[in-house]
């Protein structure tokens, strides 16, 4: 599963949910007729009945949420889709979920840590790398990232161990 958003709140009194999307564009999640909802890997499939963009969020009516009580109980749940339903990424393009967990090594061979998340800044994405003794924010741009090797699950970055 690839997490694409999170239920932020119930919406209205008829079981609709408000979803904060983690996608590049707010409406991307609307391309999927079925969402998987849950937390900590416990997924529950639900057909999307109706959904639309509202500001920077989505509001949706889904089968798994017939009333406000159900919607309230889903607050904080993740919204995901199967990896197989996503289009292939292009050359030198990566889904954030593919980068999380990769080891980051600098050009001197020093292990900086593991990618724990990413931040979208508007100008570029930033890797959140947590190491044994440090926490780094590394811009995910070609000036700093020299290689992403998915087979060895390693990112080579031009980044000092003491930054």
Residue-wise pLDDT tens digits, 20-40: 998 878 999 999 999 999 988
**What tokens were used for 12?**
């209205």
pLDDT tens by residue, 135-151: 889 999 999 999 999 99
CB 112 within 8 A of CB 161: yes
Q: Residue 42's domain spans which residues?
A: 2-85
**CA-closest candidate to residue 35, choices 75, 2, 8:** 2
Final residue in a domain of this structure, among 85, 105, 133: 85
- Tell whether 39 and 101 lie within a shared domain: no
> Do 55 and 103 fall into the same domain?
no
The model's pTM? 0.71
The CATH number assigned to the domain holding 101 equals 2.30.30.240
Average pLDDT, 10 consecutive residues per value, the chain (163 residues): 93 97 89 94 94 96 97 96 87 86 95 92 90 88 95 95 81
């Amino acid at each position: 599963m690839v997490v694409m958003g999170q239920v932020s709140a119930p919406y209205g009194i008829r079981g609709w949910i408000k979803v904060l999307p983690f996608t590049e564009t707010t409406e991307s999640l609307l391309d999927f007729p079925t969402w998987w909802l849950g937390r900590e890997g416990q997924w529950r499939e639900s057909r999307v009945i109706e959904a639309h963009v509202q500001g920077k969020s989505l509001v949706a009516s889904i089968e798994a949420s017939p009333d406000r009580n159900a919607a309230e109980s889903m607050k904080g749940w993740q919204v995901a889709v199967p990896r197989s339903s996503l289009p292939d990424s292009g050359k030198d393009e990566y889904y954030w979920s593919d980068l999380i967990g990769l080891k980051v090594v600098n050009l001197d061979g020093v292990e900086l840590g593991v990618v724990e998340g990413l931040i979208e800044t508007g100008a570029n994405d930033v890797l959140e790398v947590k190491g044994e003794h440090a926490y780094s924010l590394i811009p995910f741009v070609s000036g700093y990232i020299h290689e992403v090797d998915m087979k060895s699950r390693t990112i080579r970055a031009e980044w000092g161990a003491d930054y």
